[in-house]
Every structure is written in C-alpha cells, then in structure tokens.
Structure 1
Amino acid sequence: MGQGLSPRSEQKRQQIVQAASELFMQQGYLTTSMDEIAQQAGVSKQTVYAHFGSKDELFTYCVESKCVAAELQLDTLKGRDMRNVLTEFLLHFVDMIYSPEAIYVYRLCVSAAETHPQLSQRYFEAGPDRVHHHLANYLQQACIDGWIQLAEPEFAAEQLLLMARGLEHMRCELGLPCRETPQQRRLRIEQVLDLFLQGAQG
C-alpha cells in the first residue's frame, strides 16, 4: 500500500495496479502502453504517472506485490515428527506454487526475462532459492540430530522440492487446467516423501 495516501488515492492506485497486471499478463510488457493502463483503470495517464513514475516502476511493483501475495510461510518446519513436518511443509509448498498468484508471477517474469532480468533474479531469490535454502538447513540439522543420513543436504532438498512439484505443475504454467484433486495431491506428496525417507534412512 502506498504510504500516506488518502483512501481515494489508494483506491486509484489499486485500480492502476489491477489494470496493469491484467494487461501485462494478456499482452506482455513491451506491447502494453501507459495509455492503455490508464484507460482500463478508469483514470488519467497523469494519475498513473503520479503514482508510478514509469512503466518499469509499475511493472516492478506488480511483480513484487504478487510475490508477497504468494509467499510461503517458512515457519511451517516445526515439531519433532519429521515425516509429519515434511508432509505439511511440502503440501504447503505445492499449494503455494500451484496458486494463481505464483503462476502469474512466474509467467510475468518469463515474459519479460530478456528486458527485465532483474525481476527474474528478484523472484528467484525471494521464492525458490529461499525455500530451498530453508529446507536444506532443516535437512542438515536432521542429519546432525541423527534422524537421517544425507551426503549432501542441499542437493537432497533440491531433489525433494522438484519431486513434490510434479509434472502437473507444468500444465498449470502452460495455462492448462490442473487435474490433480486435493486428495490426489496429498497421496502423491506422501509417496514422494516415503521414497525420499527410504533413501535417507536406509
């Protein structure tokens, strides 16, 4: 939310962000003009520039706001029952990456990867890299505590996250309908975790 804005001004700001997000997603960054954004938001172009000094600034704000909306709460790795902890964490992780917000941010970054590589870098650091680092730390501590045995906890964390992601996620990224039910997702995650722990505890 913009700091120090009146309720009316904040409402216009949100209209601009909503309109820009839709147009960036539908048309891409390069082909979307500030005139179109203003028209769709129902405000003047001067109002758009008053809130956001440039299209770059507006685009960056749209991506960052969606990242916040889709952020994984990393305090889920708690408790002593490792299997239950990892099951809930992976379910939370998969729910997050399959969410419309996360898919939106991913597509938006891909669509502007050549013109705005810094957005992709920012998204990667705030999302995938952060989750991977957190899970790797948890697995490393589990090795220290003697719960599991892993030669490379960071690589193991990467494997676990990619297995949990599943092929169905590619369908979502391509705009195809997700066919996986919540029950099927939980079963798949439990099977992935069984396979992982079997190797880690063997």
Structure 2
Amino acid sequence: MSKRRDKSNAIPEKDSATPSQAMQVSGRLDQTRDRVLEIASRLFLLEGYGPVTVERVAREARVSKTTVYKFVRSKEQLFEISVALKANRRVVDDPLVVHDDDDLQPAFEKLGRNIVAVMTDPETLSLTRNVIAESSRFPQLAEAFHRASVTQFGRTRLIKWLEKLRADGRLQIDDASTAASQFLGMVRDAAMPRLLLGLSVKPRDLDRNAVAAADAFLKIYRPQCLQKSEKHV
C-alpha cells in the first residue's frame, strides 16, 4: 500500500505555484524572519553577544538552524541586522531630527533632548555595554554595532538637515559631517561616560546640557546677521 503524502503544509513547487500561493509562501518567510530577528535582538540585549548562539535563536524561534541561515550568513550578521532593525524603529518612533521653520534655537534644543532620550534608553545602554565588553574578542562586532546604532542613523539624518540649513543660508557650515559630530558630542559627552558606568545623571542636568549645546552650536554656526537680528526681536 502506497503512502499518501500530506500536501496541506507543503511549499508549492516554483513552476506550479500560483501568484497567490507564492505570496503566501513569501508572507510566511517574512513572518519567520521577523520572529528570528526579534528573538535574536532580545537575547543579545539580555545576555550579550558571546553567550548567544545561532542554535539558541533557532530553538527559541521554533525553526531549524538551516532556516536561520537562509536569512543571515553568520552570527555577526544576525547581530548587525537585529540591531539595525531596532535602531530603525527607534528613529521612526522618536525622530532624532526635528524641523522648525521659525527659530532654530528651540529646534536644536528639542534635537538635543531627543538625543538625550536615546542615549539614556535602558535597552540601548545595556546593548552598548555588552558590545564594549565583547569588542576585544570580536572587533567586527563593535564595527557592526557602530554602523547599525540609532545614533549613527540619527547622525546621517542630522547631516542632511544641516546641509539643508546651509543651502537655505540659515547656517554657515563648511563641513556638515564635522558639525554634526560636534553637536552630538556636546550633548553626549557630558553624561555618556557616567551612564555607561551605571552611574546616575540627574534629568535636569541632562536637559540643561542639551539647551547649552544648542546655544553653543548656534553661536558658532548661525550667521552673525541672523544672531544680531534675533537679539532685537
């Protein structure tokens, strides 16, 4: 007696699949990929890079190790993609760059506060500490984290905004990339070392530093004619 093959869950062959069936297969793969990356992100965040294995991620996602390797080439790439997706969501939910057509002072103050909110996020700090702890053994991990970090995404958007402000004549900037690094540094450097060490920083001090950074940045890069005219408003 021949065995009957259950085709209810089989993936249709490429040549025989209808467009509808192909879309269903693609949708299932997308859902599986999203689940794998979500679980990988959670494990990396909670346990650091070293202890997490591809086998562990596959087991918790209830898929095979082979399935995970359909989406990524290595554990390092799994880390980079999961961190990048998290950073993308954070930037979309809480944009690092704001736009104000009337006065740049409140716009840059809000930008500074947004940067503070990102750098004080407990998950971001935990992941950063984990990467620092593993960077000597896995230098490529630190590079991947740097490329995928929410700060790097925000810096790219900030550069584009500064270039627009320069084109509009509202800021006098020779190098938007350098100016972006300067502003981020003024906001971050006063508190980040303490935060990474797990030391407390008072919220009012963080806010005061964000305002001071905005003021100092605009004194450097806002055209003198605009600074003088705003003093008389």
Q: Aligned-pair distance for 1:47?
A: 4.7
Amino acid at match of 1:152: D
What CA distance in whole angstroms lies between the structure 2 residues aligned with 1:44 and 1:134?
Answer: 35
The answer for the alignment partner of 2:14 in structure 1 is none
What CA distance in whole angstroms lies between the structure 1 residues aligned with 2:41 and 2:175?
Answer: 43
Contact 2:88 2:153 in 1 (8 A): no
Structure 2 residue 83 is matched with structure 1 residue 63: yes
Structure 2 matches for 1:71-150, cutoff 5 A? Answer: 71=91, 73-74=95-96, 76-113=98-135, 114-115=137-138, 117=140, 120-121=143-144, 123-124=146-147, 127-150=150-173
What CA distance in whole angstroms lies between the structure 1 residues aligned with 2:60 and 2:164?
Answer: 55
Structure 2 residue 183 is matched with structure 1 residue 160: yes
Q: How well do the aligned residues superpose, as a CA RMSD in angstroms?
A: 3.9
User: Residue 197 of structure 1 is aligned with which of 204, 218, 222?
Assistant: 218
For structure 2, which runs of at least 5 residues remain unmatched after alignment?
1-25, 225-233
The answer for the alignment partner of 2:12 in structure 1 is none
Q: Aligned pairs, how many?
A: 191
What CA distance in whole angstroms lies between the structure 1 residues aligned with 2:153 and 2:60?
Answer: 39
Q: Given the superposition, is the C-alpha separation of residues 130 and 33 from structure 1 closer, same or farther in structure 2, using an over 3 Å criterion?
A: closer
What CA distance in whole angstroms lies between the structure 2 residues aligned with 1:126 and 1:18?
Answer: 13
The answer for the alignment partner of 1:184 in structure 2 is 205
User: Residue 49 of structure 1 is aligned with which of 52, 65, 68?
Assistant: 65
What CA distance in whole angstroms lies between the structure 2 residues aligned with 1:195 and 1:109?
Answer: 32
Identity of aligned residues (%): 16
Instruction: Please give the TM-score of this superposition, normalised by the length of structure 1.
Output: 0.68
What CA distance in whole angstroms lies between the structure 2 residues aligned with 1:126 and 1:14?
Answer: 16
Q: Aligned-pair distance for 1:149?
A: 2.4
Q: Given the superposition, is the C-alpha separation of residues 62 and 112 from structure 1 closer, same or farther in structure 2, using an over 3 Å criterion?
A: farther
Instruction: Please give the TM-score of this superposition, normalised by the length of structure 2.
Output: 0.61
Deviations 1:132-175 (Å, cap 9, x if unpaired)?
2322332233233332323333222211110011332112222x
